Structure 1
Amino acid sequence: MNRVFSRPGVLAAVAITAAALAAAPAQAATGRLGWQPTLLPLPAGADPVGHGYLTGSDGHGEYSGSFIVGDKLQVISWRGGQPTLRGVPDGFEWAMAEGEDSAGRIYGEALDYDTGADRTFVADATGFHLRDNPPGYRSFQMRAVNRRGDAVGMVFTDDPAGHAAAVWPAGAAAATVFPLPSGADNVVDIDDDGSILFSGFERDIVWKNGVSRPLADIPGFSNPHGSAIRNGVVVGFASNGNASQAIRWTTPETPVALTGGDYASDLNVGGLTAGLAPIPGSFRYKPIVWRGTTPGGELKQPGTYTGYESSHVADDGVFTGWASNGPLDEGGVPVIWRFTP
């Protein structure tokens, strides 16, 4: 699912930030098996070290994200490997793409540095379309979008007790606002059937039509947290104070440990899942793959970049992410990974 957690002035790509370090330089795809990287070109005027995130896809070969171009964080999309600078909404200097639906509409948030105005947008073939905040709320923070184009997030008041969840249905003129379910403190993701994954104080919750279903523990681990939901399946992790364990919940009540991983970050319609595994003897991590619950290898190192990460799995089986020789939470250059049999 398309998801990026971000606030104005801070570029934070995932709930867990980890630098991925490969043991050897990446080679060309020829003669190699596994998940091979392709560095995508940036448009003219872009910061050569990237400083951005490739975060979304329409599932049909288009990829999207936000990168520094000139002195602005701007939306860029790629089709056929070539970039198109989508820019920022008029009057804004910062535009973070949060996700893309199956029709190629890009969803995100924009910031005006001069006034502090923070607005959400939808970008399509005709340009940017700004959305008003729901009446009575000072801002709407987008968290995720599903394949249909239903956007979910949080709305805020001056009193934290008044914060609420909101869904902006695809094509609707206004958001639907409702109280957070009992035990929930934030929104994480939205499934294609409208089910919402909430983060919770003790455990995360899958909510639909007023019914909450908490994520179950697995033996030896507690505080289960989901990162993404798709077709009713949740992926995420749990911890025991000393270690973390990647988990897949076929239903909220039926968790299965994902072998070899500490954290699962996203999955696509076919169950292809992105995650992280620890590197023995190091505090660093490497990005890995599961096919359902079966380990599917690791994402190969892009060129000479020592750090790389994927937070999104497209429905065409491509992993999207970024690479950097600096801190990954500051972004990098755009990368996609495809499987080479």
Structure 2
Amino acid sequence: MKKTWLRAGAIATAAIAVTALGVPADAAAIRIAWQPTVLPLPPGAGAGTLTGSDGKGEYTGTFPVNGVTQVVSWRNGQPIVRGVPSGYDRVEANDENSSGVVAGTIDVDASMISRTYTLDASGYHIKDVPAGYDSVFGVAINTRGDVLGEAYKFGAAGAVVLWRADGSAPVVIPETTDISSARDLDDDGTILVNSGSGSALWKDGVLRKLSPSPSGWAAGYAIRGGVVVGSRSWGGDQAARWSTPDSTVGLEGGGIALSINKAGLTAGLVPTPSGPVIYGNGAVWRGTTPGQVRGPSGYSVFKTQVAADDGTLAGFASNNPQDTAGVPVIWRLTP
């Protein structure tokens, strides 16, 4: 699903059809650039970033509005401020599924207590904290509505938490040397986790480590349909893809891959070996074939962080390479 890295409006009508992979349906070899659209901010809003999409025209992210960090969604290109429930101080959106359900973290600043939430048409729904833990952070949500999070206890080890959509008791996976934190959640319930110096897949109690071979180091950041994308060490950081856990392939021109959609369209960033930050502007791949992303006029920095199921991309733009937020931007593949 997601993906936040620190992991959509309908494709415009065109002379040729475009698939969810971002490939022209009758001309897969044509190299067409994804074109940017800067979305309007709501009154009083500052810099933020888009972190999710329902793949049907809605985009969602985290933005400060009148000094309060909260969830903002764009529908038909217009912003909708989702508000903060009573008793809480700030809300961050980390993911959105195809039903338009948003998942993320909601905080009480004074007590430094965090909760995982989902947000749908009826409002916010706060997840229970597993017994023995103090705070939980929302990481991802899959198509069927399972929610992935991380639980912490002050001064003690944490845990990966899976709240299943059927309402059963949350699955708590204590963190060990093999499971150190949650990264993403696949539609079948497979969890992508950090594992030692790399990554692994957890499902129903079985852990399968991702091989970095043929590189010496690699890490996954997003999973969809069993395919993992991330980064590997290959003459510097290189965007990487696992179609199976056994070995990686590099994604040409990329430094890191951050998000993958149901058809294998992948969003990420190019490397900047000599720059002030490790990763630079946006990059995209159709499977393993690199595409082209154009930045919006007036901005030197643009980050593609979400690959939506309708073949669009989402993220932000700014003018400082070190920024982790800016104006909201979506990209459509249009000839």
What TM-score results when the alignment is normalised by the length of structure 2? Answer: 0.86
Judge conservation of contact 2:113–2:134 (CA < 8 Å) in 1.
no
Whole-angstrom CA distance in 1 between matches of 2:175 and 2:109:
30
- Aligned residue for 2:109, secondary structure, equals coil
**Amino acid paired to 2:106:** A
Shift of 1:328: 4.9
**Amino acid paired to 2:149:** G
1:265 is matched with: 258
2:300 is matched with: 306
Whole-angstrom CA distance in 1 between matches of 2:272 and 2:128:
45
Confirm or deny that 1:165 pairs with 2:160. Answer: yes
1:255 to 231, 240, 248: 248
What is the 5 A alignment of 1:178-257?
A: 178-180=173-175, 183-219=178-214, 221-239=215-233, 243-257=236-250
Judge conservation of contact 1:3–1:55 (CA < 8 Å) in 2.
yes
Confirm or deny that 1:2 pairs with 2:2. Answer: yes
1:155 to 110, 129, 151: 151
Q: Alpha carbons of 1:171 and 1:57: their partners in 2 closer, same or farther (altered >3 Å)?
A: farther
Q: Alpha carbons of 1:320 and 1:58: their partners in 2 closer, same or farther (altered >3 Å)?
A: same
RMSD: 2.1
1:112 is matched with: 108
What TM-score results when the alignment is normalised by the length of structure 1? Answer: 0.85
Q: Alpha carbons of 1:277 and 1:150: their partners in 2 closer, same or farther (altered >3 Å)?
A: same
**CA offsets 1:290-339 (integer angstroms, 9 cap, x no match):** 11011122x21112111110211110111110111235544111100000
**Amino acid paired to 1:250:** S
What is the 5 A alignment of 1:1-341?
A: 1-4=1-4, 14-15=5-6, 33-47=32-46, 51-161=47-157, 163-172=158-167, 174-180=169-175, 183-219=178-214, 221-239=215-233, 243-278=236-271, 282=275, 285-297=280-292, 299-326=293-320, 328-341=322-335
Judge conservation of contact 2:70–2:91 (CA < 8 Å) in 1.
yes
Identical-residue share of aligned pairs (%): 45
Which ranges of structure 1 fall in alignment gaps of 5 or more residues?
Answer: 5-13, 17-31
Whole-angstrom CA distance in 1 between matches of 2:212 and 2:168:
39
Shift of 1:279: 5.5
Matched length:
310
- Aligned residue for 1:311, secondary structure, equals strand
**CA offsets 1:158-184 (integer angstroms, 9 cap, x no match):** 3433x2211011252642212346522
